[in-house]
């Protein structure tokens, strides 16, 4: 299964590279695709230091993919939100992450159904796509 995952990873990295993004930028982009986020919350989602998130958001702003704005509920708090261009790029990155490997097309309908049944048995229950999961604050 490793070659299958590696080919998907390479496609994902290729799309991010086209937009000047690194994996942490992609992680932030996917997190922000679910909606605006306070810088502190974004750091929690990315499991990193707030100062690092500042650098990541700086780069997203530099590329025109995100912007900082005042929080609706508290003007002292800054939130990060995707720009329309950022939403488009997030959709492209999501597409690269979600696109099934071409090798699956070689399977018969019966084999794909069996694979899906097996994957459902071994896949942990989740709350949706990985980038939209919210972790508990530390």
Q: What is the domain-level CATH number for residue 79?
A: 1.10.10.10
Confirm whether 137 is domain-assigned. no
Is the model's pTM score more than 0.85?
Answer: no
Q: Is residue 54 part of a domain?
A: yes
Distance CA 21, CA 60 (A): 8
Residue 97, in any domain of the structure: yes
For the chain, the domain total comes to 1
Give residue 100's domain range.
2-132
- Asked if residue 138 belongs to a domain, the reply is no
Q: 114 or 124: which carries more pLDDT confidence?
A: 114
Task: Copy the structure tokens of residue 34.
Answer: 């679910």
Q: Is residue 48 in a domain? A: yes
Kindly list the strands in the beta sheet with 37-38, ordered across the sheet, starting from the edge strand earlier in the chain: 37-38, 78-82, 66-70
Question: Which whole number is the average pLDDT over 61-87?
Answer: 92
pLDDT tens-digit readout, 1-50: 677 777 777 778 888 899 999 999 999 999 999 999 999 999 999 999 98
Count of other CB atoms within 10 angstroms of residue 79? 20
Residue 24 counted as domain residue: yes
- Helices 39-46 and 23-33: angle between axes, nearest 10 degrees: 120
């Amino acid at each position: 299964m490793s070659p299958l995952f590696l080919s998907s990873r390479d496609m994902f990295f290729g799309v991010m590279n086209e937009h000047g993004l690194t994996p942490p930028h992609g992680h932030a982009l996917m997190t922000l695709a679910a909606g605006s986020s306070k810088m502190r919350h974004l750091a929690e989602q990315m499991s990193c230091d707030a100062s690092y998130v500042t650098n990541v958001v700086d780069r997203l702003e530099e590329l025109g993919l995100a912007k900082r704005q005042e929080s609706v509920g508290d003007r002292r708090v800054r939130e990060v939100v995707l720009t329309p261009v950022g939403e488009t790029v997030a959709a492209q990155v999501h597409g690269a992450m979600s696109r099934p490997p071409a090798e699956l097309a070689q399977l018969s309908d019966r084999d794909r159904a069996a694979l899906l049944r097996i994957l459902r048995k071994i896949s942990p229950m989740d709350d949706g796509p990985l980038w939209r999961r919210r972790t508990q604050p530390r």
